[in-house]
Every structure is written in C-alpha cells, then in structure tokens.
Amino acid sequence: MYRPAQRLADIEPFHVVELLTRARQLEAEGRDIIHMEVGEPDFPTPEPITNAAVNAIKSGKTKYTEALGLPELRQAISAFYHKRYGVSVPASRIAVTNGASGALNLAFACLADPGSEWLLTDPGYPCNRHILRTFDGRPQNIPVGPETNFQPTPELLRQHWKPSTAGLLVASPANPTGTLLTLAEIEALAEVCRENNGHFLVDEIYHGLTYEIDAPTACSAGDDIWVLNSFSKYFQMTGWRLGWMVIPEPYLRDVEKLAQNLTLCPSTPAQYGALAAFEPETIALLEIRRAEFRRRRDFLAPALEQIGFRVTARPEGAFYLYCDCSALADDSYTLAKDLLEKTGVAATPGLDFGSNEPEKYIRFAYTTDVARLAEAAERLSRYFGR
Ligand SMILES: Cc1ncc(COP(=O)(O)O)c(C=O)c1O
C-alpha cells in the first residue's frame, strides 16, 4: 500500500536536481563540468571551527544540549549582534536551530494555522513554500521584479494583504537575486505587518556576504520581528546543520516546547564548533573569503552581460547572479539543459524559484574560483557565437 499524506501532492522536487543528476552522469563519462548551480560556498569550514568540534567530540561532549541550544553559544550570538550591528539582542531570545531550515520549520510550526496565508516573494527560496505547506499554511505569492529590486514594497504588501493573510517572509540578501533591503525598507514593511496584525519574518542567512555595505539586521527594526540566520553561508558550515533564530519574547516558551518535541536539540559537536566561529582569527579568514566572493561577482557580472545575459537587479549580496536570458533564449529551463550538454556549464533555471516569469531567468552561482568562472564565460561565449 502506498498512501502518502495529501500535502505531498503540493511538495515539488528541486528541478535543478535533475540537471545535477545529468551533470554527474556527464562527469562519470569524463566531461569537465563547471558547477555554477551550487548554493553553497566552495571553501572548507574554517579550521578553528573544525578543531573546536573535534576537541568537543574527543572530550565526550556528545550528549543532548538544552533544546534551544548551548547557553554559551546563545550568549556568543548575542555578543555578535552587539559587535557587528551595535544592537542589543538578549541571549534569552535566541534559539539555536538545525540550520535556517530548522528555524523556518520552528517558526511556521509556531505561527501557521491550517489554511493561514503567508506572503512570500516570487521569485524566492523554494523550500519556504514547502515548509509552510508541511504545517498546513498556504503560500501567497507576491510577484517581484527588477522595478522593485526583486523585493516587496509597502505598496505591494498592502495590495496583496487579505483577511486570511497571517504574515510576510522576506530574505535580505535574497536567494536567487542577492538583493538587499535597507533598514528604512525593513521598517516600512514591518509597519504594514503591524497595521494588519501580521507576523514578519526576515531570513538573514546571507548576512556577512554583502559586498558594498553591511546588510542591516531586522533586529534593529523591532523586537516583534522573527529573524532567521545560519552558520551555513558566511561561516561556511552547510553540512553541520546549524543556524539560529531571534524570537519575539511572547513566543519563547512556545518555540522551546516545539524544539523539545521536534528536534530535542541542535547537533552538539556542531554547536561546540560554532563557538569558535566568532573568534577574531575565524572572522579574519571569513573576511578574506568575502573579498574573494566580491572579486568573483565583479568578474562574472560584466562577463555574462557581454554575452547577452542581463543582470537586472543589484546583486549586492549572497553569491548569485539572477540573469535575464530572454535576449538569448525563449525558455531558461531548456537553455539550462542545453548549456549543460553542450558547454558543461551547470546553472539553475528560474523554474526552481517560482512561477513569476521563470522562463526569463537563470541563476549563476559564483561558488567556484575566478579561473573556472573565466572558463565558463569563454564556453558560454562560444555557445552563443559571441
Ligand atoms: C534563503 C535561504 N534560506 C534558508 C536556507 C537554508 O539553509 P540552511 O538550512 O543550510 O541554513 C537557504 C539555503 O540555501 C537559503 O538560500
């Protein structure tokens, strides 16, 4: 008997996985594939973090911790907010989670009533709508484009808000576009949420990976905002499965109860490793890598534009360029498949990020070094006969 829950019908796979499978097949046949579809840093986790985790394992720190995480790690995250953003976030409001994914699960488990509707940007991070669906909430798309830098505005929010709308989730910097919200923009969105008695969640997973300015944290815009973050991207710990969430005070006990039941606690060795993430020597290394990401972006954006891709939004952060490829092809999914076969360049088609003109866009991740990016640009130039 095969009878999965009805929600499974609404949960889609990542389309890029199909491309990835084909990329691996081609690699097995000896083809050289340039991976620009990957949404994780290519750098290894900094050594102070891995050393701290290994030492913790060797000294037997392998039992459960508190459900909301090690008190000293919550304290270290609180100190990080003070040092980096000059904002006071008490450790008691911080929950350590299983990545930003764990934070999203806990937030929606805590807030989403069956049938409640949640405003999400389209394009946006695809797992959001699936996590929401898992908790019987409903995604409500706000189509966003280059005219608003692929971010929602207060006007768009008012236009889309319905009586059944429970809240808004945004990301800054965003995936797939890398665009940022200013503090004034975050405050204006928060205001509309408050006017409507709605919740406001801000995903700051790409903080630290911004190249002109430091992204402002939504923690500065009110203590009623849910702020999600992760050790995955800036701290380059994707596989460690560790993140955190800043929770509005009234919900602390609710999230703690959920964490106790859903996960027991985040990984203990990963938490001990993360204690070294805020050490000056780790931050110094991460800042060197941040400069390298910037160098890659500054190389890749003009190189792609020269070929005929258009970078229509300001890619101020993350490690993605979301390019308009409509001058080059009718459908980005077909294009992505053909590029992989004929050039060995793997990229993610817009289809993975929503239903707002996905055929027009393709995402290139600069999670590979400049020499490989140059090779990719050369192959793409040849393919398009430039
Ligand atoms: C916008 C965004 N949020 C959340 C996540 C989840 O990341 P993790 O669970 O590794 O922290 C990702 C991963 O790519 C992402 O791009």
140 lines ligand 1 (CB under 6 A): no
Domain stops at, among 277, 302, 324: 277
66-80: pLDDT as tens digits: 999 999 999 999 999
pLDDT category at 230 given cuts 50, 70, 90 is very high
For residues 165 and 184, membership in a common domain is answered with yes
DSSP H helical segments within 181-232, as ranges?
Answer: 183-195
Edge-to-edge strand order for the sheet containing 117-122? 94-97, 243-246, 226-230, 199-203, 165-171, 117-122, 138-143
pLDDT at residue 58, as a whole number = 98
Average pLDDT of the chain is 96
Predicted confidence at residue 20, as pLDDT, reads 85
- Predicted confidence (pLDDT) per residue in 44-67, tens digit: 999 999 999 999 999 999 999 999
Q: Same domain for 255 and 195?
A: yes
Tally of domains within the chain: 2
The answer to whether 10 and 133 are in contact (CB under 8 A) is: yes
- Which CATH number fits the domain that encloses residue 171? 3.40.640.10
User: pLDDT tens digits for 97-126?
Assistant: 999 999 999 999 999 999 999 999 999 999
317 lines ligand 1 (CB under 6 A): no
What CATH code is carried by the domain that includes residue 30?
3.90.1150.10
Q: pLDDT, tens digit, for every residue of 19-48?
A: 889 999 999 999 999 999 988 999 999 999
CA of residue 100 to ligand 1 center, whole Å: 6
Instruction: Determine the structural domain holding residue 222 and report its residue range.
Output: 48-277
175 lines ligand 1 (CB under 6 A): yes
Mean pLDDT across 149-160: 98
Residue 1 lies in a domain: no
| Residue 159 counted as domain residue | yes
| For residues 349-376, average pLDDT | 96
Same domain, 57 and 31: no
Looking from the CA of residue 231, the nearest atom of ligand 1 is 11
Residue 357 lies in a domain: yes
Where is the domain boundary, 209, 243, 277? 277
Q: How confident is the model at residue 360 (pLDDT cuts 50, 70, 90)?
A: very high
Range with the poorest average pLDDT among 15-19, 78-82, 177-181, 306-310: 15-19
- The confidence score (pLDDT) of residue 17 equals 78
Q: Are residues 192 and 292 in the same domain?
A: no
Domain boundary among 277, 297, 329: 277
Residue 386 clears pLDDT 90, i.e. is over it: no
Min mean pLDDT across 12-16, 258-262, 265-269 is at 12-16
DSSP H or E run through 22: helix 15-28
362 and 337 part of one domain = yes
**Tokens coding 174:** 């965003």
Sheet with 320-324, edge to edge strand ranges: 310-311, 320-324, 361-365, 348-349
- Testing ligand 1's pocket by substitution, the residue of 96, 127, 322 carrying the most ligand atoms inside 8 A of its CB is 127
The whole-number pLDDT of residue 134 equals 95
